[in-house]
Structure 1
Amino acid sequence: MSNECLTVVGGGLVGAAIAYGAARAGARVRLLDQGDVAFRASRGNFGLVWVSSKGSGVPRYARWSRDAAKLWPALHKELLELTGVDSGLRQPGGFWLGFSEAEVEARAKVLEKIDREAGGVPFQMMEPAELRQYLPGLGSAVVGGSFGPLDGHANPLMLLHGLHAGLRLKGADVINGVDVKQVKYDASSSLFEAIAGDGQSWKSERIVLAAGLGNASLTPQVGLCAPVAATRGQVLITERLKPFLDYPTNKARQTVEGTVQIGSTSEDVGLNDGTSSDKIEWLARRAVATFPALAQARLVRAWGALRPLTPDGYPVYQESPSCPGAYVATCHSGVTLASAHALVIGPWMSGLAQTPAEFDVFKGDRFAGPNTSVSHDH
C-alpha cells in the first residue's frame, strides 16, 4: 500500500483503466472526471480488441497491442467478478475484409512485416471461398481478407462502467463534473495541484494526465509533450438481428445484444462531433456491400465522437523529466489497450512498479524537434 496519492486527470477509458490499475495495486487514487460533457472517445469507439496491422514500423507497439489482447481475459474476468459488469469481451479472432486485389496484397505485406519484426502476431490470408466458411452471407464485393486469431471485440460503454464501478469498490475517490484547466508543481513540497475552471483544486504527490484532447494544453504545464488532435469517428447501429456474424470484422460487428455496429470513419473536422449524411450513406453502403443481408435491417442510431490522435498515431507514455511524479498517457486504442493500461501502466505511474521495458519509443519528446515530420496509418 502506498501512502502517496495519485491524481488521474481524465475519466475516460484511458484514465479510468490506469486509475483502476493503480487502485488495485494498492495506491491511493483520486480520479477527476469531466463527466458527460467530455468528448468521450468511448462513445465513438468501434469496440475492437484488435492486434492485426498495428505497429508497422514500430515493433514495440505491435508487441504492446499483442500483449494487451492476451491480458484482456484477466481484466474482463476480474471486473465481472468484482462489479457484476460484463465488458462484452469476445475473442474468437477477427477478419479484415478487402474490396480490391491491390489492398489485399498490401494488407498481406503489412502483416508479414509486423509478424517478422515484432514476432508472435499471427495471421492468415484467405480467399473469398474460405472467408465464407466463417462469414456466411459475405458479399461478392469482398475479394479477399485476413484473419487474426488474437483479435476480438468488447463493449466500450460497459467497459467504462465496469472500470468506474471497480474504482469505487477499490476505495478510489471518483469526482465527477471536473474540468481541469491548470496543473502546478511545487518543487519545494514535491506536490502537484490540479485546478478546475471553477476554482476547485486538489493536491497529490503524483499526477497522471489522461485527459484525451485536453492533454494538448495540460502536458506543457509540467514539462511534457502530447500534441493530440481530434479525429471524428461516425458509427451506425442497427436493430437487433438474429445472430449471423460470429466474428468481428473491420467494417461491421454484431454485439452480444444482437445489434450490428457499422463503422467507422476517420475525419479531420476539428471539434465537430456531429454526424453527416454523406458519411452515414458511405458507411451503410459499405456495410451492405460486405454483408448484403444488412440491406433489410433498420438503422436505429447514428452518432459521431472525437478521438485523440498524436501526429504519428502512436501512444505517448512518459514521466516528466522536470516534474518527477507527473505522467502523461495518451493513445488512440483505449479499448484494445485497456488491460495493459490497468495491469501494467497503472502500477507503474503510481510508483508501485518499474517503467515497462523499451518504453522510450513512446516518449512525447519525439514530437519536440522543430523539424519533426511524421505520418500515420489512421
Structure 2
Amino acid sequence: MTSDSTIQHPHDTRSCDAIVVGAGVVGTAIAYGLVRQGLRVLVLDGTDGDLRAAKANFGLVWVQGKGFGQPAYQQLSRRSAALWSAFARELTAESGIELDYRAEGGIHFCLGQTQWEQRAGKLSRLADQLPGHESCTEMLDRAQLQRLFPKVQFGPEVSGASYGRMDGHVNPLRLLAALQRGFQLRGGNLRTNSPVSRIAPLSGGGFSVHAGTQRFEAARVVVAAGLGSSALGPMVGLDVPLRPQRGQLLVTERLAPLLPLPASGLRQTAEGTVMIGVTQEEVGYDLSTTTVAAARMSRQAGRVLPALRQAQLVRHWSCLRVMTPDGCPVYAGSADHPGAWIALCHSGITLAAFHAGPLAAAFAQARIPDELQIFHHGRFNVPQTA
C-alpha cells in the first residue's frame, strides 16, 4: 500500500475541495474518481485495527443472483460490471499494478436436483424483475457443466450450476493498492493512521474534519467509512442504520490449476491458492473464527471438488461486512448540510467501477441522479405499525 509520505503533493492538504473519510475500496474508488474530475481531494484513513470489510473480501465482480426482489440493485450491479473491463485497463495503465482481473464468467454450483431446480426458479424470477433486459445467466446441467470443464473432477453430488456471463474476479488487495496509487499520482493526498473523530459544518459553508490533533477544511465531505459511518454520518445529518455481518474464509496452499472460473464460495487465485467461504453470520462485532464454520466450509468445498479434501489449509480469518437493513447500498446527500455525502455498501468490489465513474462524477457535480434516489437511506424511515 502507498501512503501520503511516498508522493509529494503540490497543494496544501489542510484546504481542499473534498475530503473522503475512509480509504477502503469504496472510499478510495470514489476519491480516485473525484481527482479524475479535477477536484483537490484528501482521503483520511483510520488505523490497521479498524473493522475493515476489505480484509474478508472474496474478490468477486458478481452479478448473478444479486438484487433478488430489488431490481434497482440488480440493474446497478449489471451497470458496474459492464464498466469493469475499461476501468481495470485504465487503472492498471495508470498505476502500473496488475489487478489479476478476469471476466470469463462465474459459476454457482448446485448439489442435488432440488438445489438445481431452486436455483433455476430463483434466476427465472430475477430475470422477470428487469423486463426487456437480456438475461446474463443460464443454467447448466451436470453434462453441460462437464463439457464446459472437461478436465475438472466434480463430486458425485454436483447436479449442475448456474453460469453468469457478466461475472468475474480480481485480486482485491491489488485493486485497493492500484486505486490508492492512481489517486496519489493524480495529486490526491492520502493520510493513513488518521482516524476521524469529528465532522463539523462551518457557518459559511463547507466542513471541518478533525483527525487527532489535526483539522482540515473542504467544501465537500464524503463519508465512506464502512461501519465507522454509524458514528460519523449523524454529525452531518446522515444517520444510516448499519449492522455488521461476520464472514469467515479459508485459504489453501498453492495448487495446480483446478477451477478455471470463480464460483460462489470457491475461487482459485492467480497465485494458485484456493479461497473457500464465505459465511454470513449475525454475531455483532465478534471477529472470532470458529472450527464449526471451518469444518462446514471445508466439507462443502470437498463435495464440489473432491481434490480439495487433500489440500492443506494455510489461513483462516474473519472480518465484518457493512450491511444495511435491506442489503442494498446507500448513496445520499445531506438535506441539512449541503455538500455532505455518504456512500455505503457491502459489494465494494463489484461496484468499484461505478463508484470511480458515475458516482464520483455525480458527487463532483453535487447531485444524485434520479435513478439513484431509490438508494437514499430515507427508505428505512418507515413507521412501525402497532
Q: TM-score, normalised by structure 1?
A: 0.93
- Greater CA deviation, 22-31 or 137-146? 137-146
Deviations 1:325-364 (A, max 9, x none): 1101000101100110001111211227x53341111000
1:134 Cα offset (Å): 2.7
1:372 Cα offset (Å): 8.5
The answer as to whether partners of 1:225 and 1:368 remain within 8 angstroms in 2 is no
1:4 Cα offset (Å): 6.2
2:372 aligned residue: 359
CA distance in 2: counterparts of 1:193 and 1:109, whole angstroms: 51
The answer as to whether partners of 2:16 and 2:42 remain within 8 angstroms in 1 is no
CA distance in 2: counterparts of 1:108 and 1:7, whole angstroms: 45
Q: Which of residues 62, 72, 88 in structure 1 aligns to 2:84?
A: 72
The answer as to whether partners of 1:10 and 1:210 remain within 8 angstroms in 2 is yes
Aligned residues: 368
1:311 aligned residue: 325
SS of alignment partner, residue 144 of structure 2: helix
Q: Which amino acid aligns with 2:219?
A: E
Deviations 1:23-45 (A, max 9, x none): 11211111011132222211101
2:308 aligned residue: 294
1:72 Cα offset (Å): 0.8
Task: Indicate yes or no: 2:92 matched with 1:90.
Answer: no
Write out aligned runs for 1:252-271 (5 A): 252-271=266-285
1:318 Cα offset (Å): 0.5
Q: Which of residues 13, 20, 35 in structure 2 aligns to 1:8?
A: 20
1:376 aligned residue: none
CA distance in 2: counterparts of 1:363 and 1:230, whole angstroms: 20
> Please, which runs of 5 or more residues in structure 1 have no aligned partner?
374-378
Deviations 1:67-95 (A, max 9, x none): 11111111211121111111111011111
The answer as to whether partners of 2:332 and 2:368 remain within 8 angstroms in 1 is no
CA distance in 2: counterparts of 1:288 and 1:70, whole angstroms: 33
Q: Which amino acid aligns with 2:200?
A: K
2:192 aligned residue: 176
Q: Which of residues 113, 130, 146 in structure 1 aligns to 2:125?
A: 113
2:381 aligned residue: 368
Q: Which of residues 192, 197, 204 in structure 1 aligns to 2:207?
A: 192
The answer as to whether partners of 1:43 and 1:156 remain within 8 angstroms in 2 is no
Identity %: 41
Write out aligned runs for 1:217-296 (5 A): 217-296=231-310
The answer as to whether partners of 2:333 and 2:368 remain within 8 angstroms in 1 is no
CA distance in 1: counterparts of 2:337 and 2:105, whole angstroms: 42
SS of alignment partner, residue 216 of structure 2: strand
Deviations 1:101-155 (A, max 9, x none): 3332222222222222222342111111211223421111222321111001111
CA distance in 1: counterparts of 2:235 and 2:293, whole angstroms: 38
Kindly report the root-mean-square deviation, in angstroms, between the aligned alpha carbons of the 2 structures.
1.7
CA distance in 1: counterparts of 2:16 and 2:184, whole angstroms: 18
SS of alignment partner, residue 285 of structure 1: helix
Task: Indicate yes or no: 2:218 matched with 1:213.
Answer: no
Q: Which of residues 41, 46, 49 in structure 2 aligns to 1:34?
A: 46
CA distance in 2: counterparts of 1:113 and 1:6, whole angstroms: 42
The answer as to whether partners of 1:114 and 1:121 remain within 8 angstroms in 2 is no
SS of alignment partner, residue 126 of structure 2: helix
Q: Which of residues 151, 170, 177 in structure 2 aligns to 1:154?
A: 170
Q: Which amino acid aligns with 1:292?
A: P
1:292 Cα offset (Å): 0.2
SS of alignment partner, residue 319 of structure 2: strand
1:200 Cα offset (Å): 2.3
SS of alignment partner, residue 195 of structure 1: strand
Residues 162 and 222 of structure 1: CA distance in aligned 2, closer, same or farther (over 3 Å): same
CA distance in 2: counterparts of 1:228 and 1:134, whole angstroms: 41
Residues 128 and 295 of structure 1: CA distance in aligned 2, closer, same or farther (over 3 Å): same
SS of alignment partner, residue 359 of structure 2: helix
Q: Which of residues 143, 153, 156 in structure 2 aligns to 1:140?
A: 156
1:195 Cα offset (Å): 1.9
1:58 aligned residue: 70
- Greater CA deviation, 139-148 or 318-327? 139-148
Q: Which amino acid aligns with 2:264?
A: N
SS of alignment partner, residue 233 of structure 1: strand
Q: TM-score, normalised by structure 2?
A: 0.92
Q: Which amino acid aligns with 1:267?
A: E
Q: Which amino acid aligns with 1:295?
A: R
1:99 Cα offset (Å): 1.9
